[in-house]
């Protein structure tokens, strides 16, 4: 069966429904959901029982890029700056130097055991050098895995920020394979341009996006997530057009937005959480359809060798050397090494050699696919076991709340207070989103004369309003009063 305009909606909806139903029970058997999505795509493909023929790397790459936009942006929105700040240097070291060392060490190993050229070997190493954000985010959060100290923020920061580095290395080494007359050092300007512009434009678009979200008045609350989607794609495409790294830009932009007050922030977070899951399913189903298992079987041997070297040698080398100047317990380093999950991102990056038409592209794609599957299967199913073995996990009773739980879960507070707004208070005439309320409190209701007003980010505080405030603890009330009366904590 071929995919046509007439049947694509039917086929897609059926595969999506099957993926959701199967994924619902997957963790009862310890199988990562993402691997099941990939397997369903393969079973539906031309080599499987579905017989659906799909062999278009260009469309798969486009779907992959769009999906990664949503996945990285959603991960950035959920990244709490207070959690990331203490481990920012370690995260940056892992996502840059760690990725480079992993790519080079694996590339040299592939060069020594195959007939690949040096640049082809380094290209393969670059494609699988980063941990997969979709795999790490989904598996850590689906398993509700609580880790000691700052391990979890470190892992999520690394996985969310190291794809740009792997992308730059992939494009750089691919250009060296295609253009044999180029020198190795010619890729340095490209690297610096991509990373510097990506970082700067990510912050710039984050600031502009915050202004747009908080100042564009829309008639319907549901339009705000749509506005954010538009801003997300503008950030990615504009950065890419200007020569920067679009993936890095959207992640930084999302982190900026996630740590500032936004109108209808809860709605935006809920929408992107659902869209990220949808994009993960679509991405893995698409890549599963793209793969022909019969083409991979001849490369299982070399794929297994490369995968084992990556998991047990290249990844630990990258982690230990990039963290050599940081104080960190040995067992934490070992656990970071183990959470080197490869998923859909390397498979998406492996479509670039296919579209470039290099000779070894089919072999590279097959090896990368096997590496990704084996990584999710081996490492993804053992995260909890290894955490317990290394004693880096927290007991169930000591699990902390996720950074943005107060937005997503509407958790009840333990204290309720009423605050009278006086005419001379700072809050008069200000929108709630501009007051920068402490995280430990929020306004649940406003009494205005004889009416009750349901508060939102764009609600303007008026003199003589009575605010019904819910707080985590009574001590927060002093912070709330200072914000309302003088404008700062």
CATH number of the structural domain spanning residue 429: 3.30.70.1450
Per-residue exposure over 219-249, b if at least 16 CB sit within 10 Å of its own CB, e if not: eeeeebbebbbebbbbbbeebbeeebbbbbb
In-domain check, residue 140: yes
> What's the pLDDT at 93?
94
> What's the pLDDT at 403?
45
In-domain check, residue 404: no
Same domain as 77, residue 197: yes
Same domain as 446, residue 381: no
Residue located via tokens 């498979």: 347
**What is the CB-side half-sphere exposure of residue 196 using CA atoms within 13 A?**
6
| End-to-end Cα separation, the chain, in angstroms | 63
Q: pLDDT band at residue 29, thresholds of 50, 70 and 90? A: very low
Helix, strand, coil shares of the chain, percent, nearest 5, are 65, 5, 30
pTM confidence score: 0.81
Q: What is the pLDDT of residues 142-181, one digit of tens each?
A: 655 667 778 888 888 888 788 889 999 999 999 999 987 7
In-domain check, residue 375: yes
In-domain check, residue 272: yes
| pLDDT mean across residues, the chain | 85
Q: pLDDT band at residue 307, thresholds of 50, 70 and 90? A: very high
Same domain as 421, residue 285: no
Asked if residues 167 and 411 have their Cβ atoms less than 8 Å apart, the reply is no
Residue ranges making up the domain that contains 131: 8-398
Same domain as 418, residue 344: no
Same domain as 238, residue 110: yes
What gap in Å lies between CA 3 and CA 230, rounded to an integer? 28
Helix then strand count (H, E) for the chain reads 24, 4
Q: What is the pLDDT of residues 348-366, one digit of tens each?
A: 999 999 999 899 999 999 9
What lies within 8 Å, CB to CB, of 419 at 6+ separation is 466, 467, 469, 480, 481, 484
Instruction: Say how many domains are in the chain.
Output: 2
Q: What is the dihedral of CA 374, 380, 368, 70, to 10 degrees?
A: 150
Same domain as 428, residue 313: no
In-domain check, residue 3: no
In-domain check, residue 281: yes
Higher pLDDT, 248 or 408: 248
Same domain as 219, residue 258: yes
Same domain as 389, residue 417: no
Same domain as 323, residue 229: yes
Residue (of 399, 403, 407, 402) closest to 80 by Cα position: 403
In-domain check, residue 102: yes
CA distances to 316, 328, 342, 397 from 325, in Å:
15, 9, 26, 34
Give the domain-ending residue among 344, 372, 398: 398
Q: What is the pLDDT of residues 399-422, one digit of tens each?
A: 554 444 444 344 445 678 888 888
Same domain as 292, residue 327: yes
Q: pLDDT band at residue 106, thresholds of 50, 70 and 90? A: very high
> What's the pLDDT at 453?
85
* CATH number for 233: 1.20.1530.20
Give the domain-ending residue among 372, 398, 424: 398
* Torsion angles phi and psi, residue 436, rounded to 5: 55, 60
Residue 312 has pLDDT above 50, yes or no: yes
Residue 256 has pLDDT above 70, yes or no: yes
Same domain as 417, residue 360: no
Give the domain-ending residue among 371, 398, 425: 398
Same domain as 283, residue 363: yes
> What's the mean pLDDT in 208-232?
92
What gap in Å lies between CA 285 and CA 12, rounded to an integer? 9
> What's the pLDDT at 132?
76
361-378 vs 33-44: helix axis angle to the nearest 10?
Answer: 140
In-domain check, residue 2: no
């Amino acid at each position: 069966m071929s995919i046509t305009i007439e049947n694509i909606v039917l086929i897609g909806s059926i595969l999506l429904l099957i993926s959701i139903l199967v994924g619902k029970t997957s963790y009862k058997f310890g199988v990562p959901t993402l691997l099941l999505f990939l397997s369903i795509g393969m079973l539906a493909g031309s080599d499987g029982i579905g017989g659906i023929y799909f062999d278009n790397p260009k469309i798969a790459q486009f779907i992959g890029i769009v999906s990664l936009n949503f996945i990285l942006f959603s991960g950035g929105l959920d990244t709490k700056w207070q959690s990331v700040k203490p481990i920012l240097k370690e995260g940056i070291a892992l996502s840059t130097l760690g990725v480079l060392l992993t790519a080079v060490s694996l590339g040299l190993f592939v060069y020594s055991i195959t007939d690949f050229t040096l640049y082809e070997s380094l290209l393969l190493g670059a494609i699988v050098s980063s941990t997969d954000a979709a795999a790490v985010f989904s598996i850590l959060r689906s398993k509700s895995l609580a880790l000691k100290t700052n391990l979890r923020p470190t892992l999520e920061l690394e996985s969310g920020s190291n794809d740009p580095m792997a992308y730059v290395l992939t494009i750089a080494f691919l250009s060296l394979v295609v253009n044999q007359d180029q020198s190795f050092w010619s890729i340095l300007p490209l690297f610096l341009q991509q990373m510097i512009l990506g970082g700067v434009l990510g912050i710039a678009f984050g600031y502009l996006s915050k202004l747009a979200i908080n100042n564009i008045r829309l008639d319907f609350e549901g339009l705000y997530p749509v506005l954010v989607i538009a801003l997300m794609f503008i950030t990615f495409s504009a950065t890419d057009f200007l020569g920067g790294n679009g993936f890095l830009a959207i992640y930084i932009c999302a982190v900026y937005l996630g740590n500032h007050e936004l109108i209808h922030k809860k709605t935006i977070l809920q929408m992107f959480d659902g869209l990220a899951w949808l994009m993960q399913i679509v991405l893995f189903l698409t890549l599963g359809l793209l793969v022909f298992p019969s083409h991979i079987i001849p490369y299982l041997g070399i794929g297994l060798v490369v995968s084992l070297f990556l998991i047990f040698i290249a990844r630990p080398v990258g982690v230990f050397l990039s963290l050599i100047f940081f104080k960190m317990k040995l067992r934490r380093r070992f656990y970071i090494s183990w959470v080197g999950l490869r998923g859909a991102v390397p498979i998406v990056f492996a479509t670039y050699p296919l579209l470039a038409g290099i000779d070894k592209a089919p072999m590279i794609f097959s090896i990368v696919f096997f590496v990704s599957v084996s990584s999710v299967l081996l490492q993804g199913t053992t995260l909890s076991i290894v955490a317990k073995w290394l004693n880096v996990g927290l007991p169930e009773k000591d699990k902390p709340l996720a950074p943005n739980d107060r937005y997503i879960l509407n958790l009840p507070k333990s204290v309720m207070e009423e605050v009278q707004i006086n005419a001379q208070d700072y809050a008069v005439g200000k929108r709630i989103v501009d007051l920068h309320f402490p995280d430990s409190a929020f306004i649940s209701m406003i009494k205005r004369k004889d009416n009750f007003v349901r508060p939102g980010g764009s609600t303007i505080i008026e003199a003589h309003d009575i605010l019904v405030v819910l707080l985590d603890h009574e001590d927060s009330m002093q912070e709330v009063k200072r914000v309302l009366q003088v404008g700062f904590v």
